Amino acid sequence: MKELRGAPIASGCRFAIVVARFNEEITEGLLRGAREALVEAAVRDEDVTIVRVPGSFEIPVTALRIAETGGVDAVICIGCLIKGDTMHFEYIASSACQAIAAAAAATGVPMALGVLTTLTEEQAVARASAGRDNKGREAALAAIEMATLFRQLEEGYPE
């Protein structure tokens, strides 16, 4: 029986991080967490491309384009939606998350979800603060695991 799983060290793997500028203070905190996780996984700076987009709504199409053309092992998607008093929160949150999943399925490139959907700004701040609970860090760890897992799949299930 074979059992495959990703590895914590991803040197040689290439990543893109798509970051929404909307709620920028939060998304920059998520980006810092993601970058720290990549450094800890021995991913070189030259193997990481940061792509900034206006808001979370623009993340999926950008991730799709990168996956189609960019030669990356995984895409880390970072955004922050805070519930306001309009229906836009639900629309943008569900369309962004579904479209990220669809982009991953269409391209076969793993896409990690680091898009916060919170009721309050306080909740968003807590999830973007430095430390192990930073959701950008968690998204990067998922991307690292999936990138290294897929490298093994491409190598043809080594003994």
Give 8 or 54: the residue with its C-beta nearer to ligand RBF: 54
Nearest distance from C-beta of residue 22 to ligand RBF, angstroms: 3
Give 1 or 87: the residue with its C-beta nearer to ligand RBF: 87
Structure tokens given for 107: 């391209």
With 0-12 / 13-18 / 19 or more C-beta atoms within 10 angstroms meaning exposed / middle / buried, residue 139 is buried
Nearest distance from C-beta of residue 20 to ligand RBF, angstroms: 4
How far is the C-alpha of 83 from the C-alpha of 108, rounded, in Å? 31
Nearest distance from C-beta of residue 145 to ligand RBF, angstroms: 25
* Among 121, 134, 124, 111, CA closest to 34: 134
The question of whether 154 is a catalytic residue gets the answer no
Nearest distance from C-beta of residue 90 to ligand RBF, angstroms: 11
Binding site for ligand RBF (CB under 6 A): 20, 22-23, 54-58, 79-82, 86, 88, 92
Give 30 or 92: the residue with its C-beta nearer to ligand RBF: 92
Helix (H, G, I), strand (E, B) or coil at 119: coil
Determine which one of 88, 90, 91, 105 is catalytic.
88
How far is the C-alpha of 73 from the C-alpha of 67, rounded, in Å? 8
Q: Closest residue to ligand RBF, Cβ-based? A: 55
Give 15 or 57: the residue with its C-beta nearer to ligand RBF: 57
Q: State the Rg of the chain over Cα.
A: 15
Between the alpha carbon of residue 9 and those of residues 27, 61, 77, the distances in Å are 25, 29, 20
Catalytic positions are 88
